[in-house]
Amino acid sequence: MDRYFIEFDDVTCIGCITAVEEKLSNLKESSLKKTDKSTGNSILESMLMKNQISKSLESFEGCCSSCQITIKTIKPITGKDDEIILSADDPNVLTKKQYKQALERIIAKEEVACSDYCVCKTTDIDRFEEFSEAPSFSSIFNLVEYLEKFGYLHFGMSVIDFGSGTGHDAFQIAPLIAPSQITGIDITPEMVDFAKKTAQKLNLPNAVFHQASNLMLVKPESQDLILVNNVFNLLSNKRDFLQQVRTCLKADGVLVMADEFTIDILPESLRNDPAFQCGGIADAQSLDFIITLCQENGFKVLREETIRTYEIKYNKKNYQLNSGILIFHN
């Protein structure tokens, strides 16, 4: 059998990805090896020729009759691990790698840090004990306390924790909203596995976790609150994400964004430095920029909170940033 990498167009939701898996699984003289749960891109082993596969997959129904999926590229592959092939064009490769290493350092009780220049970096034993089963990678590691104080968490609401990491925030929210569900979504498979195991250990059946890089698996208009804690700065297409949030929130839903916000203009050399990629800084923007961006995408500001102001040093120069919380109404 020959092996092929197949990239699809018009895969827009989890239903489309399921359609891709079903189509490839039923392809004659072929065996589906792996499908990326975010993109639908797949590894297929087949006795068929490339042109035969292309013809069989020329166009097929996705999540509904009005959704037609087509092949973007199909190419033979040899000698590489499936994960490497599927992630070759993945913009999140560095993020996944650094957070996998960060999880390993947490498990070894070495430090809480998502990178060498992480804004939350600490070896303080208090941070390990603050929620010992699942320490936080966010500089606002006590975000749930603020949300309780502001009155944004209550019994019976449905919540998404996007960029859920170890499950730190989700595990604190789960008992407050039970029996309703909090769904944690994270791009790093090791984080998702860790959170799933910890949820079982803590007996929190209403805290569930999925690996994904977007909100495609979430039903439209199903969520009361979407939490994005120290993750928005990592997103390459912030406008697309905000539109996904609007789609998933109920009419009166709330977006909570805790993040790092620039005060001084950061140099491009810092923004392009891999050492700052996952530290909450590399693509941080000013508070005004983020508020304007959210307003342009249909959100209304409910609350602004600056938690702390601090400096980072880069090439012998200091730059000021804020850690803060923004709360928006859909």
- The candidate with the shortest Cα–Cα distance to 10, out of 62, 54, 58, 55, is 62
Grouping H, G, I as helix, E, B as strand and the rest as coil, residue 249 is strand
274: confidence class by pLDDT, cuts 50, 70, 90: low
pLDDT at 123: 40
For residues 27 and 54, give the distance between their C-alpha atoms in angstroms, rounded to a whole number: 11
For residues 285 and 160, give the distance between their C-alpha atoms in angstroms, rounded to a whole number: 23
Lowest mean pLDDT among 152-156, 162-166, 186-190, 203-207: 186-190
pLDDT at 80: 62
3-state per-residue secondary structure call for 257-307: EEEEEECCCCCHHHHCCHHHCCCCCCCCEEHHHHHHHHHHCCCEEEEEEEE
For residues 259 and 306, give the distance between their C-alpha atoms in angstroms, rounded to a whole number: 10
Q: Could you tell me the residue ranges of all domains in the chain?
A: 2-86, 93-329
189: confidence class by pLDDT, cuts 50, 70, 90: confident
Topology (CATH) of 2-86: Alpha-Beta Plaits (3.30.70)
Q: Find tokens 């350092």 and name the residue.
A: 105
186, 191, 195, 196 alpha-carbon torsion, rounded to 10°: 90
pLDDT at 91: 59
For 106-160, the pLDDT digits (tens) are 666 665 555 555 445 444 444 445 556 777 777 788 899 999 999 999 999 999 9
Q: 93-329 — its CATH code? A: 3.40.50.150
